[in-house]
């Protein structure tokens, strides 16, 4: 991806258009990034962003739901969407000869949804079924439980799907009110990458999105207050899924790459400490790892494992022990070098292909107001030192300020806190 070749245009209503044309290949990817995620919802509208995402596929004033699907298939395109805590993304990919139709489809869906009451009620049942699937997923319950503990006073800690009650109480009026606030020009980025004519795309985007209101609700994330605590979710699962979490960093925090290196060393790969010790040497778990999740104003760092009840005590103790060893003794030069190379490889390979480039441009512009070049990201990783990673370990691994979630055949919270505190050194 040649950063210097990115073309950017801001329409009068605030819509930002990013284009990176290429002479290679015969396809193009288009993604629309809307500043509408669950953290920007009112509590009584929890789940509305995800509900809207579903309704975008239920037809527009020009096309029925079937016509949307058939037209996308007729041009051999890919059309999909997803919702996160901070944005909604609608994306498509098509051959260069069919790009005008694909772009028309995606902009029609996002600016002109029908939101018919009959479709709305059908989709309510679909979303309630989706919530049921989520409730049967131990990994999802574990992470969601950790989030709702860490950020219990913020919508950042709320489930993206909503609750059974908020979905039951949802109305088309709530959807329309939310779209009027957040599906506006200043909160929309259109990113196009691949084989296309920039002038033709610019004209089509201007015609399709230029008439949207600018909007008067800025996309500003108020920092969510962190809370330590323990959340236990009793479910009849074969395994217990456990997660230990700590406050992390926001997207633009200068410590982000040091924490990324620490995350890789701790549990980000098959050569990581947690994988080698807990799975390969002790055989306490099949699934073990860690993750770092940055957001606009805050972030989190967590380690997790799925274990049988008989291995639960040993696994929790060993997780804590390995974290304490990292905090006390730091990382080795070999681990450090390997982790940086893994991170750089993931960046380079993750930016190969039109869809990945379109996503990188759109997400960066929406969340950061700028697009970081591949070279800048790699240079930032290269600049991380062993001392910075060791400082991150001491700063972020803090058992005076930890959160914990367990799902499965669980015991009381005092047992888990004792397991953690008895293993800390």
Question: d(Cα 60, Cα 62) in Å, to the nearest integer?
Answer: 5
Within a 13 Å sphere around the CA of 349, how many CA atoms are in the beta-carbon half? 6
Other Cβ atoms less than 10 A from the Cβ of 376: the count is 12
**204 Cβ contact partners less than 8 Å away, ≥ 6 residues apart:** 100, 103, 104, 107
332 CB burial (10 A radius; 0-12, 13-18, 19+):
exposed
**219 Cβ contact partners less than 8 Å away, ≥ 6 residues apart:** 35, 40, 186, 187, 366
Catalytic residues: 53
Dig out the tokens for 200 from the structure.
């033709």
Helix, coil or strand: residue 305: strand
Asked if 264 and 272 touch (Cβ cutoff 8 Å), the reply is yes
> Measuring CA to CA, which residue among 333, 348, 339, 345 is closest to residue 268?
339
Distances in Å between the Cα of 87 and the Cα atoms of 34, 39, 164, 234 are 6, 9, 22, 31
């Amino acid at each position: 991806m040649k950063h210097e070749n990115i073309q950017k245009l801001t329409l009068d209503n605030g819509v930002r258009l990013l284009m990176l044309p290429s002479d290679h290949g015969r396809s193009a990817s288009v993604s629309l990034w809307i500043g509408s995620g669950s953290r920007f919802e009112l509590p009584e509208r929890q789940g509305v962003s995800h509900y809207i995402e579903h309704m975008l596929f239920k037809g527009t004033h020009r096309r029925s739901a079937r016509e949307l699907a058939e037209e996308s298939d007729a041009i051999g395109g890919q059309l999909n969407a997803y919702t996160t805590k901070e944005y909604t993304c609608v994306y498509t990919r098509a051959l260069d000869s069919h790009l005008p139709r694909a772009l028309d489809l995606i902009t029609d869906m996002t600016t002109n949804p029908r939101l018919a009451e009959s479709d709305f009620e059908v989709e309510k049942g679909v979303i309630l079924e989706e919530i049921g699937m989520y409730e049967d997923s131990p990994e999802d319950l574990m992470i969601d439980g950790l989030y709702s503990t860490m950020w219990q006073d913020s919508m950042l800690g709320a489930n993206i799907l909503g609750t059974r009650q908020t979905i039951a109480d949802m109305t088309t009026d709530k959807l329309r009110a939310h779209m009027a606030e957040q599906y506006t020009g200043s909160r929309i980025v259109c990113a196009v990458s691949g084989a296309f004519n920039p002038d033709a795309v610019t004209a089509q985007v201007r015609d399709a999105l230029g008439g949207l209101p600018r909007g008067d609700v800025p996309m500003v994330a108020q920092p969510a207050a962190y809370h330590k605590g323990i959340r236990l979710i009793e479910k009849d699962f074969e395994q217990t899924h456990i997660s230990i979490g700590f406050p992390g960093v926001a997207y633009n925090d200068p410590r982000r790459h040091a924490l990324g290196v620490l995350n890789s060393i701790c549990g980000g790969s098959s050569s990581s400490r947690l994988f080698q010790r807990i799975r390969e040497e002790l055989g306490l778990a099949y699934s073990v790892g860690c993750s770092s999740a940055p957001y606009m104003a805050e972030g989190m760092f967590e380690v997790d494992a799925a274990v049988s009840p008989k291995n639960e005590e040993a696994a929790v103790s060993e997780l804590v022990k390995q974290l304490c060893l990292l905090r006390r003794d730091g990382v080795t030069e070999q681990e450090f070098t390997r982790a940086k190379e893994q991170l750089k490889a993931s960046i380079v390979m993750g930016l190969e292909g039109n869809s990945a480039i379109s996503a990188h441009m759109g997400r960066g512009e929406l969340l950061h107001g700028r697009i970081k070049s591949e070279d800048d990201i790699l240079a930032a990783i290269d600049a991380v030192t062993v001392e910075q990673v060791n400082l991150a370990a001491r700063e972020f691994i803090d058992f005076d300020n930890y959160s914990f979630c367990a799902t499965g055949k669980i015991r009381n919270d005092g047992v888990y806190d004792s397991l953690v505190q008895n293993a800390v050194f």
